[in-house]
Amino acid sequence: MSTVSGQTSQAQGPKLSPPWFTIANQIKYTIGLTPGITVGELITAQQPYQLPITVQDPAQAQALAAILKPQYSLGNIEVQVQINPGTQEVKPAAVTDPAQVVQLIQIALKGNPLLVDVLVKQVGPWAPPAVWPIFTKSVVQFFNDDISDYYSNFNGVAADVFRTVLLEAVNGTGVNCSTSNQ
C-alpha cells in the first residue's frame, strides 16, 4: 500500500482545520496529482469561497468540469470549484452514455498515479450500467489538525476520497469509485 502525502507537521499550536480546507486538500491530493492540473489555494476573502483549478489542456478542462463536483455546502459556508478562473467559463463536456463517461474520466485524470482503470459494470438486471473508476490501494494523507491522529493527519482511502470529490452521476450514468483488487 502506498501513501500520497502532504505536509505532515505544523509549527503553530493546536487548532482545528475547517471542513472547507479539508475539501480543498482532498481535491489537491487527488485531482491535483494529475499532470497538467494545478489546484490553487482556497480563497476565503468572500463568500462563496473559491478553489481555483488550472488545467492546461482545454479538452481535459472540459472533461474535469463534467466529472468534478462544482460546489460544496458546508453549513453556512459554500465552496465553489473554478476551473481555469479568469478565462472563458469552462463548459462540461456533454455525454450520452456510459462509454462516453469512461472517456471523460480517462481524459480528466490522464496520468494520475492513483487511477488504475475505468470500467463499465451492471450490478444487476434491474440497474443500468454504471462507470467504475478503479483506484490504487493507497491512502491520501495530508496535515489536517486531526486530533485523532498522532501526527494530526487526514488519512483516507484513495477511492473514498475520489468518491467525495467526483460527481455521483454524470448525465444519469452512475459513477462508483472502487479500489483495485491488486
13-33 confidence digits (pLDDT tens): 556 789 999 999 999 999 999
Question: Grid coordinates 492513483 are at which residue?
Answer: 114
Dihedral sign computed on CA atoms, order 177, 156, 60, 21: positive
pLDDT digits (tens, 9 = 90+) for 58-94: 999 999 999 999 999 999 999 999 999 988 889 999 9
Length of the chain: 182
pLDDT at 54 over 60: yes
Regarding pTM above 0.85, the answer is yes
Helix axis angle, 19-28 to 158-165, nearest 10°: 110
| 29 phi/psi in degrees, rounded to 5 | -95, 10
